[in-house]
Chains A and B, each alone.
Chain A
C-alpha cells in the first residue's frame, strides 16, 4: 500500500462543536504522552482553552501489551474557558486491546472509539484478558467504533524509508496524531517543525514521523470511515500573551522568578523522586540564571545542602514528594529552629509509603502541618491549577524570605503533569522581594550581634550571612536564648521561644489576602471550600449546579497555614460547609479544630482528580440534606 497523498482534496463537511474531551491510550512504549503533548500544543496554538490529564504507569516499561503497561493522556479543549481535563472522554483512541480494556469504561455512551485494529492480535487480546475479540463480538455496540489499520498504514507510508521495522512501528503514534489533527481541524505544521528540531541529528527519523503524521491526516480526509470533521473555535480568554505550561514547569519558573525578584542566587538541593523530578531537570538547565542544582545522595542531604545554602545567603529550595518529606522532617524542624528561609516543595502522590507514585492525591496536608517533633509550625501554600504553580512558588519564596522560615508548597501529581494555557505574567507586577532579603550588615551600636533579635512587625530574625565581618555567630538546633541566640535550657525562655515562633507564623495572615468567596448572592446556604488542585473540578461543579438553579457559594484556600484572617467569619456565614478533598478529610479536620464548624467532607483517593459530575452530585445531595434538615 502506498502512502495516501498529502495534497488535500475538497474538505469534508466540518461541524462546529464547543468542547471536546479526547483520550489517547496505548502501551507505554507507544508514545502516547508525546502524542497527547503534541496535540495539546497545536490545540493551544489554535487558541482553545484546554486542560490535560496525563496518566501513566509507575513502571518505565511494563511488559508490552499488558494491562499495567497502559499509558493514557486526556485532553479537554473548548471554545470557552474550562476548568478541568474533562470528566469522561467523548473520543478514545486505543492503540491496543489493553488500552481499550482499561479505558473504554470511561468513554461516554455513544462516544467515538478509534482503535488500531492491527494490534488486536490473538496474543495481545490474551494479554489484555479478552477471550474474544471485542471488535467482533458486539460488546462495543454502544459506541461509534472506527477500526483503523494504523500499523499497516504507517508501515505503508514508510515503505520507501530505510529504517528498521522497529523504528517504523514507532511512528504509529504520529499517524494517530495526524488523524486526530484532521478530525479536529488542527494544523500539522507545528508538529512537523517540532519533529524536525527534535530529530535534527537523525533526519531520517524526523522525516519518517512527518510522513506518518501526514498519512494519518490524509487518511482522515480520504477514508469513508468518518462522515465529517469538527472544528472548535478559539476560546475568548483574557487578553494577553499565552503559552502552554505544566505545573512543574510553572513551579520551576516561579522559583527562578522569585530568585530574580529577590536578587539572590537560587539553590536547589534535591533527590530524584516521582512526580517531582521534572523540577530538578528543569532548573538544572538554567545555569545562566545563576541557578545551582545539587542532586544529593539522598533526600536528607538534599534538604541539608539547601539549608546550608540558606545559611550562606541563597534562595534555597528542596523538591520532593511525600516519602521524601518524611525523610526531610528532622531538617525542616532544624530550619524552624534556626529560622532560615527555605522552600520545601512536595508534589503529592498517592500514599502511604511508596503508594501510587504516578497518581495524584492531597493526603500530605497534615504531614506538612504536623510532621515534625516539637512545636514546629510551617507555613503552607498550595497552587490551584497548573499555571498557578508559578504564583504559588513566588508566594512561598516571599513568605520564606520575609519571615525567615521554612515554607511548604503543596502541589500534586495532577498539577505537576497537567497542562493548560498560561498567560505570561507581568514581571513588574510580581512582588519585589529584595526588601525581604536585607541581610544584616552591621553589629549593634554596642558592637554585639543578636541573631535572634526580632523585627517588631514580622517577628523575623536578622539574616547575617558568613563573610559579614563583625557578625560572626553560631546557630543550631538547641533551644536559643531569646535575642542573643546563646544555648538556653531556661524553662521560661523555651516557652517564650515556642510562642514567638508560633506567633511569627500566625502573623503571616496579616500579609495574605482575605479568603475570597464566589457567591452570586442568591441566598446560598452551602459553601464548597477547597484547596489545591481540586479548584478546577469544584469550580466546574459549582457552575453546573448554578446552571441548574442551585444556590451554592464557593471559596478556595491558597494558604493552609496560616489560614486567611477572615476564614472563620466566612465559614460562619453559611449553614453548611462542604470540603471536597482527595484524602480522608485533612483540611476538614483542621477547619473543625480551628473554627469549631461542622464541615462535611466529600472524599476519595482514587489517584485521579475529581470529576465535576460527581462533585455536582455531592453538592446536590448536600443541598437536599440541608433542605430536609430543620433550619
Chain B
C-alpha cells in the first residue's frame, strides 16, 4: 500500500497528533513553537497517524517523538538517520520523519546524516539548530560561531562551524530548506513541503535555546526585513523590501548588492529545481553563520530515484526473473548426492 491509496479516516486535527506526554523543554525554548507547528502541519498531509513514524537521537530536540501521537522511536545519540533508513527502506508505506539537532545530527551523527541524504532515503530530516549543546548544559556545538565562549571553551572555541545547508547540499540532498522557529507560517509551509517531497528532505530550523545560547538568531529575528533573504523559486533573490538583492558575478560567485545600483534585471533568479546544486550552494554561502543577511526558504528540490523504491524494484525484478524463492531448491544448490 502506498501513501496515496490509504483509507481516508480523515480529517484529523492538530489535537490528534498531540500525545498525552507532558512536554519538558525549558519554558521559552524555541522547540515549543516547532512542535506546535509540526503538529499543526500533520493533519494537512492526509496521512493516517499510524503511518507516520518520528525517529530521533539524543538531545533536547530528540524528545520530540514523545510528544507526537504517532509511532515514534527515541534512539541513541546521532543514529536516528540509520534507524530511520531501516524503517523507510523496508516500509515504503510509512512517512518517516527524523528530528535531530546540531550536536546529534552534525557531530556524533554526521556520518549517518550525509549518507541518508546521498542515498535519497525517503525521510524528512528536521534539524533544530540552536548552535549549542543544550541537554548536556551548554558546550559549543559544530555550528557554534568561532570563538564561542562556553563551559568547554572558556577561552573561545577554535573550530570552524558547519553551515548545515551547505553540508546537506554537498551531500546532494534532493530537498534542502531553512526556516526559523519563530516564523510560524514559513516554518509550516517549509515542513509541509519537505514531508511531501519523495526522497530525503532536509530542513534546518534556527531554534533559540534561551537558556544556553539566547539570541543566537537575533539578527534575523530582530530585523527580518533586513536580514532574512526569502528564497522563492522563479523569483529574483531580493530582500529589504526589494532594496537589496543578489547578483551572480561573471566568475560564478554571488554577491549582495543594492538593487538601485544594478537594476532589477541584473538580479539572480532563484531556480530551486536546477539539477546542478552549485547555485544553491553559492546561495548557502552568502552567510556562513546567521549574523547578517541570510537566505531562508527552499534552496533546492530535485527528483532523484528514491532508495526504498530502488530496493523494492530490485526485489520485484528478481522475483519476476526467477520466480518466488523456493527454499528447498536454494538449500540443495547445484551439487547434491544421496547416501542410502
Contact = CB atoms under 8 A, between A and B. Distances in A.
B337 A241 contact: yes
A467 B323 CA distance: 28
A469 B48 contact: yes
B72 A474 contact: yes
Contacts of B9: 469
Interface stretch (B156-164, B172-180, B291-299, B312-320): B312-320
B260 interface: no
A242 interface: yes
Contacts of B38: none
B85 A301 contact: yes
A487 B330 CA distance: 46
B217 interface: no
B331 A424 contact: yes
B336 interface: yes
B330 A253 contact: yes
A313 B83 CA distance: 13
B74 A478 contact: yes
A44 interface: yes
A244 to B, nearest CB: 7
A290 B79 CA distance: 26
Nearest to A42: B335
Interface in A297-319: 297-298, 300-301, 304-314, 316
Contact of B86 (A190, A305, A475): A305
B90 A292 contact: yes
B74 A288 contact: no
A267 B83 CA distance: 13
Contacts of A568: none
B66 interface: yes
Interface in B21-51: 21, 48-51
B337 A314 contact: no
Nearest to A470: B50
A574 interface: no
A267 B86 contact: yes
Contact of A476 (B49, B73, B84, B91): B73
A287 B318 contact: yes
A434 B278 CA distance: 52
A304 B65 contact: no
Contacts of A290: 315, 319, 325
Contacts of B76: 330-331, 334, 477
B328 A427 contact: yes
B335 A244 contact: yes
B319 A300 contact: no
A39 to B, nearest CB: 14
Contacts of A477: 58, 74-76
B111 A297 contact: yes
A87 B336 CA distance: 28
Nearest to A243: B336
A88 interface: no
B219 interface: no
Nearest to B50: A469
B4 interface: no
Nearest to B16: A472
A471 interface: yes
B335 A308 contact: no
B337 A306 contact: no
A486 B317 CA distance: 43
Contacts of A228: none
B255 interface: no
Contacts, number: 207
B330 A289 contact: yes
Contact of A424 (B83, B318, B319, B332): B332
Contacts of A474: 19, 21, 54, 65-66, 68, 71-74
Size range of the chain B interface in the assembly = 35 or more
A143 interface: no
A197 to B, nearest CB: 9
A431 interface: no
A476 B327 contact: no
B10 interface: no
A350 to B, nearest CB: 28
A287 B330 contact: no
A307 B65 contact: no
A487 B63 CA distance: 11
A423 B340 CA distance: 12
Contacts of A239: 339-340
B87 interface: yes
Interface string A245-261: 00000000100110010
Interface string A265-280: 1010100000000000
B82 A301 contact: yes
A437 to B, nearest CB: 15
A305 B85 contact: yes
Contacts of A424: 331-332, 336
Contact of A44 (B51, B318, B335): B335
A44 B311 CA distance: 37
B89 A309 contact: yes
A262 interface: no
Contacts of B184: none
B112 interface: yes
Interface in A32-68: 41, 44-45, 47
A23 to B, nearest CB: 23
Contacts of B93: 467
A305 B68 CA distance: 22
A304 B75 CA distance: 9
A286 to B, nearest CB: 6
Given A304-B86, A474-B66, A286 B94 contact: no
A195 B330 CA distance: 21
B82 A44 contact: no
A584 to B, nearest CB: 31
Interface string A477-489: 1100000001100
B50 A467 contact: yes
A466 B82 CA distance: 17
A509 interface: no
A424 B328 CA distance: 9
A292 B338 contact: no
Interface in A460-508: 466-478, 486-487
B73 A45 contact: no
B122 interface: no
A472 B331 CA distance: 39
Contacts of A425: 331
B79 A331 contact: yes
A471 B324 CA distance: 32
A602 interface: no
B285 to A, nearest CB: 26
A305 B82 contact: yes
Interface string A450-462: 0000000000000
Nearest to B321: A288
Nearest to B82: A304
22 contacts: A242-B339, A243-B332, A260-B327, A267-B86, A267-B90, A288-B321, A290-B325, A297-B112, A300-B82, A305-B83, A305-B85, A308-B83, A309-B89, A311-B86, A330-B76, A466-B53, A466-B71, A467-B93, A469-B9, A469-B49, A469-B50, A472-B72
Interface of A: 41, 44-45, 47, 190, 234, 236-244, 253, 256-257, 260, 265, 267, 269, 286-290, 292, 294, 296-298, 300-301, 304-314, 316, 330-331, 334, 338, 423-425, 427, 466-478, 486-487
Given A242-B336, A257-B327, 18 more contacts: A238-B339, A243-B335, A256-B325, A256-B330, A260-B327, A267-B86, A267-B90, A287-B315, A287-B317, A292-B311, A297-B115, A304-B112, A311-B73, A331-B76, A469-B9, A469-B49, A469-B50, A470-B50
For the complex of A and B, 9 pairs with smallest distance between CB atoms: A308-B86, A476-B74, A304-B82, A305-B86, A289-B325, A474-B72, A287-B318, A308-B83, A301-B82
